[in-house]
Amino acid sequence: MIPLVDLKANWLPLEKEIKEGWDRVMDKTAFILGPEVKEFETEYAAYLGVKHCITVANGTDALELCVRAAGLGADDEVLVPANSFIATALAVIRAGCKVKFVDCDADHLIDVDSCVKQLSKKTMAIFPVHLFGQVAPMEKIGAFAKTHGLIVMEDAAQAQGAKQNGKVAGAIGVSAGTSFYPGKNLGAYGDGGAVTTNDEATAKKIRALRNYGSEVKYFHPEVGFNSRLDTLQAVVLRAKLKRLTEYNAQRRAAAERYHGLLKDFGDLKLPRAVPGNEHIWHIYAVQVAASRRDAVMKSMQDQGVGVGVHYPVPIHLQGAFAGHGHKAGAFPMAEKAAAEMISLPIFPEITAAQQEQVAAALKKALS
């Protein structure tokens, strides 16, 4: 069986280094906000070339804290792509704002042209998602945001190390939230997340909010959260951050291999890196006719290939957002993607032989 993601293959070469790090944490009993947390924050900020990194408990919290730190609240509307993981929209709702969904383009990234239709006087921000490992069209988004006076925040959960024309995901908007969920390109061995920003005031605010709204112990000038990265997880992330450039390069090589194996095969649609983007291939999703998708997936699973769909139901059609009253057809590109996509196994350690097996299974399923 070839898994969609092989966390075991990733763990084995890191085992010794990480266990030694964990032992050091245990010796010091520095479980909460121990020195490794600060060290990781400094290292990750340097990696992205951003001034501040504030780690938190998970990616959803990171996104919510971005919205709160931007001073957004009741009745403010935030533009969110309909095809993302649901957390982007949840974060906006949890911060007390309203979500305005927008459609995506053929590369599954936010369709900036369609955003105009969703604007109202209350629209205050836009929250693009760097989906599957490539940066959303940030220059276009920046120009659009400037014209309409919107704050730009980034969902960089799938884009640790991705770039666009030299700019780095997580360092472009006023703030960015990222996730260290185990399966992400930079993943912990449990939950974790971070906000990155170049803005001093935002950083200060988030540092307080993540720690009960307090800068000085037992003094709480505002209502905060308990949302912190575990020191044990910081040890894992430090070990993996050292290798992130290499991991992303391995993913890029794997994506190129898939292109070579699968190109010009009937009407199978392959993903691409948009010109100007340095894609880090968090997900490699192909598209097949919607009428055949589920049968193709079943055939691949029967042939021992782990496949997935990111994501089978676009957010505007989820029960959680039924109150918004969107019907099927509201965001056709997002819905088409949800019906046609199949994610193939991709992870740094995937071998050429495994990829050949995946490609053969897909071709057989489609024939």
Could you tell me the smallest distance in angstroms from the CB atom of residue 338 to ligand PLP? 15
Could you tell me the smallest distance in angstroms from the CB atom of residue 87 to ligand PLP? 3
Draw the binding track, 88-117, toward ligand PLP (x: CB under 6 A; -: no contact): x-----------------------------
In three-state form (DSSP H/G/I as H, E/B as E, the rest C), the secondary structure along 150-186 is: CEEEEECCCCCCCEECCEECCCCCCEEEEECCCCCCC
User: 35-48 and 231-241 are packed helices; what angle lies between their axes, rounded to 10 degrees?
Assistant: 30
Q: Whole-angstrom Cα distance, residue 129 to residue 318? A: 18
Could you tell me the smallest distance in angstroms from the CB atom of residue 216 to ligand PLP? 29
Tell me: does residue 128 bind ligand PLP (CB under 6 A).
Answer: no
Q: How far is C-alpha 104 from the geometric centre of its chain's CA atoms?
A: 16
Tell me: does residue 60 bind ligand PLP (CB under 6 A).
Answer: yes
Beta-bridge partner residues of 168: 163
Could you tell me the smallest distance in angstroms from the CB atom of residue 352 to ligand PLP? 27
The residue with its CB nearest to ligand PLP is 59
Q: Whole-angstrom Cα distance, residue 151 to residue 293? A: 38
Could you tell me the smallest distance in angstroms from the CB atom of residue 191 to ligand PLP? 6
Query: What number of residues does the chain have?
Result: 367
Q: Whole-angstrom Cα distance, residue 27 to residue 247? A: 31
Place of tokens 């925040």: 153
- Burial label for 3, CB within 10 Å (0-12, 13-18, 19+), is middle
Tell me: does residue 244 bind ligand PLP (CB under 6 A).
Answer: no
Q: Which amino acid is at 144?
A: F
Draw the binding track, 186-215, toward ligand PLP (x: CB under 6 A; -: no contact): -----x-x----------------------
Tell me: does residue 225 bind ligand PLP (CB under 6 A).
Answer: no
* Residues in 136-155 at the binding interface with ligand PLP, rule: CB under 6 A: 155
Nearer to ligand PLP, 181 or 189 (CB): 181
Binding site for ligand PLP (CB under 6 A): 58-60, 84-85, 87-88, 129, 155, 157-158, 179, 181, 191, 193
